[in-house]
Amino acid sequence: MKECYFADYTVGADAYGSIERVCAPLGRRAVIIGGETALEKSAEKLKAAMRNFEIIDIAVYGKECYRANISRLYDKYKDSGADFVVGAGGGKAIDTAKCLADMLGVEVVTAPTIASTCAASSALAVIYDESHVYEGFWYLKRPAFHCFIDTDIIINAPDMYFRAGIGDTLAKYYEVEFSMRGRALTYRDEMGLSIARMCNTPLIAGAAGALADCKKGAISERFETAALIILISTGMVSMLIDGKYNGAAAHAFFYGLTVLPGFEEKFLHGDVVGYCVMVQLMLDAKPNEAKKIGDLLRAMGVETTLAERGIEVSRENLDRVFDATLKDPDMEVVPYEITKDMLFDAVKAVEEMYE
């Protein structure tokens, strides 16, 4: 027997208005977990929308999605009688809420306050250690029960998060196609690849305009479309395809870079992943495609080299980054052998493109 789950969603400035109807089957008692700023922006709207529910607690998740923090929350709420968890905020807050719900054995609904990752609709969480270094994935049985996308909150969030969401999403098609290349694909794999194309051509065409609208606070069709591609399309792809195809060199290189002291705290995930897409494309002998992505990133104000981030581009400095990259699970299924020399050559090629 094969099962496939997707996160349903409601989108719009009044998205929370459907919480009563959608969540009623889950029960009446909920815990709301979110980021500090996210809760400042969303808590009052959530409480108003959930006035007929019993909100057990509204709590800040912490500063990182790591196992000890998730366990702390579990110990706090394991005897609370919560029927479901609401995760509000960005990727780390929502991932923490998803893991908490998984441990409690209840459903989670998500209320993203920024459009920066697919965390709100995917069935995995990215786990870091307490030093902000990537540790691995936490795989969940299913994605969120429902995703409530309040565009009024998202449009008023700092536009850098929306920009980072675009960068992260640009990786989806390139990584899925790279991992799947030359392999026998199932129906679900093929469907996932088709949806992944939404994360490429239409996003690239509309990204700059959507970001411009975001900066102006204009909830346009192109802004909403880009937000849905970031939050929903990527999650659908990850639910459909075999997990081994869900990432490749771009995300592996990002996670490798987190071994550099302070890197993960200083730079936004999606901004760096967008750059890492360029590295993967250069690795794959597609310089013109790498330039297309690079030019888009630069137009959005994103650094397209390591040098611009103050990182020394030398084999000695990056050797441990490449070690971590090649050990990352996202590199287990690639179409050909990749070496540290190949990664370094790809990095240098990107640096030279924008000297």
pLDDT exceeds 80 at position 47: yes
Q: How far is CA 341 from CA 116, 255, 316, 329, in A?
A: 32, 18, 12, 19
Cα–Cα distance for residue pair 281/178, rounded to 1 Å: 10
Predicted TM-score (pTM) above 0.85: yes
Q: Where are the alpha helices (DSSP H) in the chain?
A: 19-23, 36-49, 67-77, 91-104, 151-155, 159-180, 187-196, 201-216, 221-228, 234-240, 249-257, 263-266, 269-283, 287-299, 315-327, 340-353
Sign of CA dihedral 43, 44, 50, 51: positive
Angle between helices 91-104 and 67-77 (to 10 degrees): 50
pLDDT exceeds 80 at position 2: no
pLDDT exceeds 70 at position 1: no
Residue 149 and residue 10 in contact, taking contact as beta carbons nearer than 8 Å? yes
What pLDDT is attached to residue 7?
86
What's the rounded mean pLDDT across residues 91-114?
Answer: 97
Look over the chain and give the mean of its residue pLDDT values, rounded to a whole number.
95
The predicted-structure confidence for 20-30, as pLDDT tens digits, reads as follows: 999 999 999 99
How many residues are given for the chain?
A: 355
The predicted-structure confidence for 291-343, as pLDDT tens digits, reads as follows: 999 999 999 999 999 999 999 999 999 999 999 999 999 999 999 999 999 99
The predicted-structure confidence for 50-80, as pLDDT tens digits, reads as follows: 999 999 999 999 888 989 999 999 999 999 9
Quick one: tokens of 287?
A: 């310089």
The predicted-structure confidence for 229-285, as pLDDT tens digits, reads as follows: 999 999 999 999 998 999 999 999 999 999 999 998 899 999 999 999 999 999 999
pLDDT exceeds 70 at position 136: yes
What pLDDT is attached to residue 321?
98
pLDDT exceeds 80 at position 4: yes
Give bridge partners of residue 36 from the DSSP assignment. none
Cα–Cα distance for residue pair 235/249, rounded to 1 Å: 19
